[in-house]
Amino acid sequence: MIYLDNAATTLHKPPQVAQAVFSAMHTMGNCARGTHKEALDAARGVYAAREKLAALFGCPRADHVIFTCNATEALNIALNGLFAPGDHVITTDLEHNSVLRPLYRLEAEGKISLSFVPANADGCIAYEDFERLMTSRTRAVVCTHASNLTGNALDISRIASIAHRHGALCVIDASQTAGCLPINMETMGLDVVCFTGHKGLMGPQGTGGLCIRPGVEIASFKVGGTGVQSYSRTQPEAYPTRLEAGTLNGHGIAGLGAALDFILETGVSAIHAKEKALMEHFYTGVREIPGVTVYGDFTHERAAIVSLNIREYDSGEVADALSQEYAIATRPGAHCAPRMHYALGTQEQGAVRFSFAYYNTEDEVDTAIAAVKELAQ
């Protein structure tokens, strides 16, 4: 199987990731739940992973790195904990449902008002629209770093600058870029970065989190056991326990820590360069094939994603043919990105997404190009 569905989850990961999970399952106690060796080892391992994530994302404080099950949970924590009744929020047409649905619910409950920066037929936005939509009640701009459908990346430094100029926060969904594109909260001016561990970070599923700039206050989303301040009726106020109730996924975090070692040693720039080369090779090979339509803007920075359609064929049928006839794994359909599909005009047909990662090869890309050519005949 040639696996080109890395925007959903990376299948091939550094071998030390599985080794770390296996070891943790045999040695790790419960973090912050005791003073015996196993519990202390767990606490040290979890904190080491926080430090690695803080280094990777330029987060000023490791104790402001919060662990969650995935980016969706991280975004729910941030979006439900930042806003007060009457607040205004700006987001974009590029968003995944992990951003859209929490915001839609807050809007339906009358807690926020919501505005969208529109995308054009190439999936691109005009940054001037952020300025146009700002009001005196705008509390935050919430946006993806890169579209999970087209791969188009946003200039998050520019967006953060606009937000801060109007007294608003900048909250970033880095699901498609963490570990693949450079992110530095301090130099880019980011207030909250939400991430998942199982995609570009190459860790296990069931891992993710958010990094919070010091001074940004997010109310507790869930409450319960923390291992500290057990006689208090309320959740502790200090990060990270304010936003972490219950036992952490210590085994998964151990694997994530091993993946972070690989990323920090290899370098995000080197990883991005390899993934970009694979993506560009595929794009160059398919863009001129008669009957193939490729979506997105390939003139600016982007994630290693190419989405396309072949003639009027249903995207699900094309993906099935790729899987069954060519042993190539891709992702068809709506990709949990409804507003982007409307912008592209693909809401009925969907699109076939090819997404590339560090462990893919040029030979695999050549095979995928040849398969698209045959299916388009």
The residue among 228 and 212 whose pLDDT is bigger is 212
According to the model, what pLDDT value does residue 37 have?
Answer: 86
Q: Does domain 15-266 have CATH number 3.40.50.1860?
A: no
Our measurement of the distance from residue 101's CA atom to the centroid of its chain's CA atoms, rounded to an integer in Å, reads 16
What is the pLDDT averaged over residues 218-240? 92
Q: How confident is the model at residue 372 (pLDDT cuts 50, 70, 90)?
A: very high
Strands 292-295 and 305-310: antiparallel
According to the model, what pLDDT value does residue 311 have?
Answer: 98
**Tens-digit pLDDT profile for residues 88-117:** 999 999 999 999 999 999 999 999 999 999
What is the pLDDT averaged over residues 171-187? 98
According to the model, what pLDDT value does residue 31 have?
Answer: 81
Of the candidates 92, 188, 185, which has an alpha carbon nearest to the alpha carbon of residue 141?
Answer: 92
Residue 324 CB-half CA count within 13 A: 7
- Distances from the Cα of 369 to the Cα of 10, 191, 244, 306, 323, angstroms: 20, 40, 45, 12, 14
34 pLDDT more than 80: no
CA geometry: angle 227, 50, 275, nearest 5 deg: 145
According to the model, what pLDDT value does residue 144 have?
Answer: 98
181 pLDDT more than 80: yes
Question: Which of 2-11, 34-43, 277-286, 305-314 is predicted with the least confidence, judged by mean pLDDT?
Answer: 34-43
**Tens-digit pLDDT profile for residues 55-85:** 999 999 999 999 999 999 999 999 999 999 9
As a whole number of Å, the CA-based R_g of the chain is: 21
CATH superfamily, domain 2-11+267-372, is Aspartate Aminotransferase, domain 1 (3.90.1150.10)
According to the model, what pLDDT value does residue 35 have?
Answer: 83
183 pLDDT more than 80: yes
Average pLDDT, the chain: 97
What is the pLDDT averaged over residues 118-123? 98
The residue among 281 and 32 whose pLDDT is bigger is 281
Of the candidates 10, 15, 24, 14, which has an alpha carbon nearest to the alpha carbon of residue 254?
Answer: 24
Q: How confident is the model at residue 32 (pLDDT cuts 50, 70, 90)?
A: confident
What is the pLDDT averaged over residues 203-213? 98
* Domain limits, the chain: 2-11+267-372, 15-266
What is the pLDDT averaged over residues 286-306? 97
41 pLDDT more than 90: no
Examine domains 2-11+267-372 and 15-266 and report if their fold is the same.
no
pTM, 2 dp? 0.97
